[in-house]
A and B are shown apart, each in its own frame.
Chain A
Amino acid sequence: MILLVDLCYEKDSLSQYEFVHPIFDTLKRSGFSSEIRHFTELERRERERFDRIVLTGTALKDNDFAERIDLFSWLAECRKPILGICAGMQVISAVFGGQIVPQPAIGLEAISIIRESALLGEPREIEGYHLHNYGVTLPEGFLLLAGKPGEVEAFCHPARPIFGIVFHPEVRNRWIIERFAGLPF
């Protein structure tokens, strides 16, 4: 069972249809079960029920989650596979010592995968959908998987199955979500 952490500004918001349901539907169609929980209502006992975790994106103007990074401190000790998408990547970066920095981008753009990984595969160029006002700096020790140092498109933890991607895989790159769900960890 996969936990989808809804990072939108409120529980059951209008944004949930746009940033959470497409991930839920992608997983469902690939045969993976998932449940949605808002980031403000996650309790430790409940988190333990899930095998892996996806932190979803938010609307362009929605940065409330970044004011509540304390609610995500549990990620630092979590040993389960984690995928952070856009806002979710910002959360991972902040929890592991990186910074959330202004870096607006909207629309389809070329993404350079520069390092082979279980999630994104071999180095190559793909097209990804950007929708963010903020990007991240690479937390110390994390590996850059796509983009460049001042423009992090994707990263991973050096030893644990923790990934972040700033573009939205639910648009034209659903294979990334499916691959994360099926990775043998």
Chain B
Amino acid sequence: MKLGVLFSGGKDSVYACRRAMEKNEVACLITLVSENLDSYMFHTPNIRHAKMQAEALGIPQLARPTRGEKEAELADLEAAISAAKERFGLQGIVTGAIESVYQATRVQRICRAQDLWCFNPLWQINQVDYLRQLVSEGFWVIISGVFAYPFDESWLGCALTEERIRILEGLQKRYQIHPSGEGGELETFVLDGPIFLKRLNILSSSKTYANFRGFFTINGLQLVDK
């Protein structure tokens, strides 16, 4: 089955892509570039670099802009999926949804309307186990945004490691946060992993942070042979 992966460049879409590649053919990555930093549907920090991640993965990317307004962005997503279906002969769509019924429901409806299969290979996964799996399988994940108490500035740009996972596990128990950031608490960016043909190297970056909300913005990025 030829599949298109909804791709933001964060850990969930990258890992969903890995699972899809193990079972089927991933023909393209579909990226919605949202102008709204608070998008309901689409991961936003560093989304422009998803193009270079697609190159690193060796998979064609179809990118479309969206203003990121609550329901209008769904029409943009459907248009992008429809274009990808036609261009790449897709039979199904893959998402990295874990618990968000909001996201999953909307993508399921679009797939139904487009007569496409819909796969959510991370659905309901235990989030702490999943984070450990990412690290143990060799994915190099950095935190590219924080959006909730009690995340301080030290999280911005830091790598996902066993030590950070243990902290996230503690925060889950204490504050009921979603350790994988599924509730919008944090966003990630993937620089390398077992499905990457090349790795990504950050050349320059900047941070903005205030009141438990911050971005790690990648300004310069290069592909490096592995």
Contact = CB atoms under 8 A, between A and B. Distances in A.
Interface of A: 12-15, 17-18, 21-22, 25, 29, 59-62, 104, 106-108, 129, 131, 133, 170-172
B119 A59 contact: yes
A108 B105 contact: yes
A38 B101 CA distance: 27
Contact of A25 (B101, B120, B126): B126
A60 B93 CA distance: 12
Contacts of B105: 106-108
A18 B112 contact: no
B126 A14 contact: no
B119 A15 contact: yes
Nearest to A23: B124
A9 B119 CA distance: 13
Given A60-B111, A108-B101, A131-B108, A18 B120 contact: yes
Nearest to A28: B126
Task: Tell me the interface secondary structure of chain A in the complex.
Answer: mixed
17 contacts: A15-B119, A17-B125, A18-B120, A18-B123, A18-B124, A21-B124, A22-B123, A22-B124, A25-B126, A29-B126, A59-B119, A61-B116, A62-B117, A108-B101, A133-B112, A171-B124, A172-B101
Contacts of A25: 124-126
Given A59-B117, A129-B101, A170-B124, A14 B108 contact: no
B124 A106 contact: no
Interface stretch (B17-25, B27-35, B133-141, B145-153): B17-25
A58 B179 CA distance: 28
B67 interface: no
Nearest to B21: A14
A94 B210 CA distance: 59
Closest 6 CB pairs of A and B: A22-B124, A17-B121, A107-B105, A14-B23, A18-B123, A14-B119
B109 A106 contact: yes
Given A17-B119, A106-B112, 10 more contacts: A14-B119, A17-B125, A18-B124, A21-B124, A60-B112, A61-B118, A62-B117, A107-B109, A170-B124, A172-B101
Contacts of A108: 101, 105
A59 B118 contact: yes
Number of contact residues on B: which range applies?
A: 20 to 34
B122 A106 contact: no
Contacts of B126: 25, 29
Nearest to B111: A60
Most buried by A among B20, B111, B118: B118
Contacts of A21: 124-125
Contacts of B23: 12-14
A107 B109 CA distance: 9
B20 to A, nearest CB: 6
A61 B122 CA distance: 19
Interface in B73-128: 94, 101, 105, 108-109, 111-112, 115-126
A133 B20 CA distance: 24
A120 B18 CA distance: 37
A42 B13 CA distance: 34
Contacts of A60: 108, 111-112, 117-118
Nearest to B115: A61
A17 B19 contact: yes
